[in-house]
Amino acid sequence: MDGERQDGTGQERLRQADALRDQGLWDAAATAYRAHLAAHPEDWRVQIQLGHCLKESGDPSAALVAYRAAEALARNNADVHLQLGHALKLAGNAEQAWRSYARALELDPANEEASREAAALSRLASPLVRSAPSPGQAVQVVFDTSDLVAYFRSDRTPTGIQRVQLSVTARALLDPIEGVAAVAVAFDPASGGWREISRDLFLRLWRLSRIGGDPLAPDWVEAIAALEAALLGGDDFVFAPGASLVNLGTSWWIPDYFLRVREAARLYGVRYVPLIYDCIPLVAPEHCQPRLVEQFAEWFSAMAALADSALAISEWSAADARRIAREVVPERELDVTVVRLDADLRRDLGPAIGEAWPERADLPGPHEPFVLCVGTIESRKNHLMLFHAWLTLLRKHGPARVPRLVCVGKAGWLADAAMTLWRNSPALQAKVSVAHGVPDVALAALYGRAMFTVTNSFYEGWGLPVTESLSFGRVPLVARNTSLTEAGGEAAVYFEPMNEPDLVARLESLIFDDAERARREAIVAASTRLRSWGEIADQVMREVVARAERPDRAPRLPVVPGETYPLGLAGGGKAERAKAVADLVRDGLNWHAREPWGAWTGRGIARLRLTLPQDAPAGPLRVYVGLQAPGAPVTVGLRAFGVEGGPPAFATVAAPALGAFTCVLDVVRPGHEVVVEIDGGPGVLLGTRKLPDGRLAGIGVTSVMICTNDDIAARVGFLERHNFRVLRLE
């Protein structure tokens, strides 16, 4: 260390790192200290400072590694052992923490802090552990990070949704509000349950995702291996009674996710609270993959009926969600609370510093002027129009006067048009950079040195790049539409959507008029009021806790007598009540995932639960069930009964291989709910003799209908739909 302290560059670097530390900008300071240690690994004092930063930002395990490195270099330093004791105590290892404090006292008997800590630990009969509030005093808030886990299996640098999940969950784990016990879990499709991700492991993933972009780096590979081991070898997570399952990511891609949520609600009274980013697949499907549109329509339909409450990231998204939910479930309003993503990235990560500058061939040098555009390159973000605007600038003003456009984001859905234009244009190749895998700390450096930023999207749920630009004092140039005006407020400069001449004019004003850009930056500085991610996490927890004591929303939708409900995935991009009913009528876990034709039952008993409307007929009813046999003959038992009457004996039906047939069951006293039980027996292996798929199934269920005995039209209509192909000729 002494050698570098005599060197002017090294001394300035350490002054910067110390200044960042003193401001509480722990991640930025840790990056600066690491840069120093890469050249001077023998500097044990800086190892201690690195440990401080890691500990303060919530990663005691990583801090312990830094303190151990300092101990190896300075074994007889009291401060090293004092800091080791602090990290060990935070990690829950009381015995080793006491020994470290005792060693610090042995080396420095006057060390009051070591004496106080050692005395406190000596009074404990068991190792110190991080206490969680008792179930009677706290609401267990369970953050479902399944989407994040799936993303990390192939990517390291988070995009918008992943950044929100990481930032909110990490802060909730680090510092939950009073009355909350926060837990992180991920859904395991193999077992059909959730598995807990330890606090330390989650925080390690969070930290590594922010400071590096290489998915093959040893520290990242090790962390992902630990994550996979936790999911593979862990026990199914057991919810505390009345817990809230908060889904900050996506779940529509997980087969039968809501089936498991309903079972958790039945067993433990779990409340389901999703965060709605946007409803783009339903309102602007032209910018989404067709499969995503179908999955989202199915998910939203069931969510509107099942969710106890919901969060949304903007007023715009909340209004979309309420309107569409009203179409699915008009009899009850979806309770949506807005949690704005007005996060201050600069305060979160620290100002751009030299060590964080991304020295990459696909990014500009530290002194080249550039305009920054952050976001996945896809049709919805409309990079195509932005690239055309840059071509206009280059042809009008010449390459020497036009700054570089830096696009940070990977190529996504329908990016071909924009990327083809970029690849085929030498002018764009020379003045437009496209980069992926830029970690948050490096992104902060780009924001800090950009002339301004530009966001040209057709539709957004919030617009994180706009807020991030404001946090660094940079003027965001933004398309005036959807929630982008909420993110930009009065500080952004707006252009009319799909109006390339207006975009070019605004670009020219901010590029070539330094005084105008400075004036706009002054407005940004005067009007921008942003929150920390910790404050956003606090709001999420407060909103969840506030709703935990409210009466449950009944997740069962009543079925209309005489209406046929197919159980299969209906397809199409519209959220509909029938889709919600198709998901919700299946009861219990003895079902395989729904397919376009219907759903297989498992071996043993599977249930359909049909809730009747209040004005349903009081007399006997008849249930029609459409069935499909697997590739082998089966014998199944069926019965239907009202919850107010006793179940009758099973009626046995023998079905030939691949046979489609209808069973009709009479219910004498239906009451307010009718249960249909299907006993599939030992089950048969699905698939073919040469290619089995590993699932055991009882019988396939294609559709269900309940009606009065005298409703001839409904009875004939069901049989026609199930047994005949009805052709309507114009």
Query: What is the per-residue pLDDT across 333-349, written as a single tens digit (0 to 9) for each?
Result: 999 999 999 999 888 87
Q: 248 near 168, Cβ under 8 Å?
A: yes
The most confident of 63-72, 283-292, 713-722, by mean pLDDT:
283-292
What are the pLDDT digits (tens) for 424-451?
999 999 999 999 988 888 899 999 999 9
d(CA 598, CA 700): 7
- Measured in whole angstroms, the distance separating CA 612 from the mean position of its chain's CA atoms is 35
When pLDDT is averaged across residues 140-153 and rounded to a whole number, the result is: 95
Q: Which two tokens stand for residue 725?
A: 């192909």
Check: CB of residue 662 under 8 Å from CB of residue 624.
Answer: yes
Average pLDDT over every residue of 364-369: 90
The distance between the two most distant Cα atoms of the chain, rounded to a whole number of Å, is 97
CB 298 within 8 A of CB 595: no
Question: Which is nearest to 320 in space by CA: 363, 276, 289?
Answer: 276
Q: Determine the Cα–Cα distance for residues 237 and 264; give it in Å rounded to an integer.
A: 10
pLDDT tens profile 308-321: 999 999 999 999 99
End-to-end CA distance of the chain: 87
pLDDT at 3 over 60: no
580 close to 329: Cβ distance less than 8 angstroms? yes
Within 8 A by CB and 6+ apart from 124, the residues are: 94
Q: What is the CATH number of domain 2-122?
A: 1.25.40.10
Whole-number percent of the chain with pLDDT over 70: 92
| pLDDT band with cut points at 50, 70 and 90 for residue 728 | low
> Helix 60-73 and helix 199-211: axis angle, to 10°?
80
Would you state the torsion angle of the CA atoms of residues 321, 327, 328, 330, taken in this order, to the nearest 10 degrees? 100
Decide if pLDDT at 413 tops 50: yes
* Confidence category of residue 671, pLDDT binned at 50, 70, 90: confident
The per-residue pLDDT for 692 is: 75
Q: Is the pLDDT of residue 5 over 80?
A: no
pLDDT value at residue 137: 54
> Is there a contact between 152 and 227 (Cβ–Cβ < 8 Å)?
yes
pLDDT at 1 over 60: no
pLDDT band for position 491 (50/70/90)? very high
Per-domain boundaries in the chain: 2-122, 139-338, 346-530, 565-723
CATH numeric code, 565-723:
2.60.120
Query: For position 118, what pLDDT does the model report?
Result: 73
* Tokens read off for 445: 């450096």
Least confident of 495-499, 554-558, 633-637, 647-651: 554-558
Which pTM was predicted? 0.81
2-122 against 346-530: fold identical: no
Confidence of residue 166 (pLDDT cuts 50, 70, 90): very high
Using one digit for the tens of pLDDT, what is the confidence trace for 23-60?
877 878 888 888 888 888 888 899 999 988 888 876 77
Q: Does the pLDDT value for residue 2 go beyond 60?
A: no
Could you tell me the pLDDT band of residue 729, with boundaries at 50, 70 and 90?
low
CA pair distance 353, 446, nearest whole angstrom: 10
Angle (deg, nearest 10), helices 60-73 and 78-90: 160
DSSP-derived letter for residue 620 is -
- Residue-wise pLDDT tens digits, 127-138: 332 233 344 458
Q: Indicate the average pLDDT of the chain.
A: 88
The whole-number pLDDT of residue 6 equals 40
Taking the C-alpha atoms of residue 308 and residue 243, their distance in angstroms, rounded to an integer, is 12
So what's the pLDDT on residue 134?
A: 40
Helix or strand or coil: residue 481?
coil
With residues binned 3-state (H G I as helix, E B as strand, rest as coil), the percentages for the chain, rounded to 5, are: 45, 20, 35
In this prediction, residue 37 carries a pLDDT of 85
pLDDT tier at 727, thresholds 50, 70, 90 = low
CATH number of 346-530: 3.40.50.2000
pLDDT digits (tens, 9 = 90+) for 582-615: 999 999 999 999 999 999 999 889 999 999 998 8
Q: Of the candidates 699, 613, 610, 694, which has an alpha carbon nearest to the alpha carbon of residue 650?
A: 699
Q: For the domain bounded by 139-338, which CATH number is listed?
A: 3.40.50
pLDDT score for 117: 78
Residue 134, Cβ density class (10 Å: 0-12 exposed, 13-18 middle, ≥19 buried): exposed
Q: Enter the DSSP assignment of 343.
A: B
| H or E, element range at 312 | strand 310-312
DSSP string, 592-606: PPPBTTBEEB-SSEE
pLDDT over threshold 90, residue 484: yes
Which one-letter DSSP state was computed for residue 550? S
Average pLDDT over residues 638-660: 87
In the prediction, which pLDDT does 14 show? 87
